[in-house]
Amino acid sequence: VKMATTSGTNVKAGKKTTIATPSPLGQRSIDAMLLAQKSSSSQSLQTVQATLTMMQEMVAKTHELIARNHEDMKTEMKTEIGGVKYEIKDLNSKLGKMQEEVTKNKQKLNLVETRMEMVEKKVEDSEQNWKVLYCELRDSMVQMELEKASFHLRFQNVVEDRKEDLHAIMMTLIVTALQKPELEIENEIDEVYRVYTHYAR
């Protein structure tokens, strides 16, 4: 910027001094430049402030988003942990019920085994009793058959006349002695006869 100057002469102590004074046109140019610079600086400052404000808002939103995500994650994790705990509790409950069922089944098996042992013992006792009873019955039948055979043999010593019916005489004597029906005596005599015939063979 060129500045127009006028020269003036002041006399002091015998010397000449030259003073430069700005012209009105130059002063206006300087003021315009300063105003322009001030306006530009103001706009730049506003731009910087706007940028800073926008950045602050972005940072605040970012923090808010992070905090929200953190809370969501905490809530989600709590929900998942609660679900896992519930599943573990339910599983423990099911395991407990299974153990109870296993214990009950073991008790039932033990009871069944005990009853089976008792039944087997009763069967063995029954078999033994049947064997004893069979032996006693067999001995009784043999004894009875022997007694019947001996009774029948005693009648063989009776002297038989040719005209007499020994069978009829024996029937009469036995019916009179035992006071039983004739048919029953007849059947018993036949049975004794079969036994005697069997032993005679």
What's the pLDDT at 35?
67
Q: How many Å from the N-terminal Cα to the C-terminal Cα in the chain?
A: 174
DSSP 17-67: E------HHHHHHHHHHHHHHHHHHHHHHHHHHHHHHHHHHHHHHHHHHHH
DSSP letter string, 69-116: HHHHHHHHHHHHHHHHHHHHHHHHHHHHHHHHHHHHHHHHHHHHHHHH
Question: How far is CA 5 from each of CA 17, 28, 79, 123, rounded to the nearest angstrom?
Answer: 14, 15, 86, 150
The per-residue pLDDT string of the chain (201 residues; one tens digit each, 9 = 90 and over) reads: 334 444 444 444 444 444 445 556 666 677 667 666 666 666 777 888 888 888 888 888 888 888 888 888 888 888 888 888 888 888 888 888 899 889 989 999 999 999 999 988 888 888 888 888 888 888 787 777 766 665 555 555 555 555 666 677 777 887 888 888 888 888 887 777 676 655 545
SS3 category, 198:
helix
H or E stretch covering 178: helix 166-178
Residue 108 tokens read as 């039932």
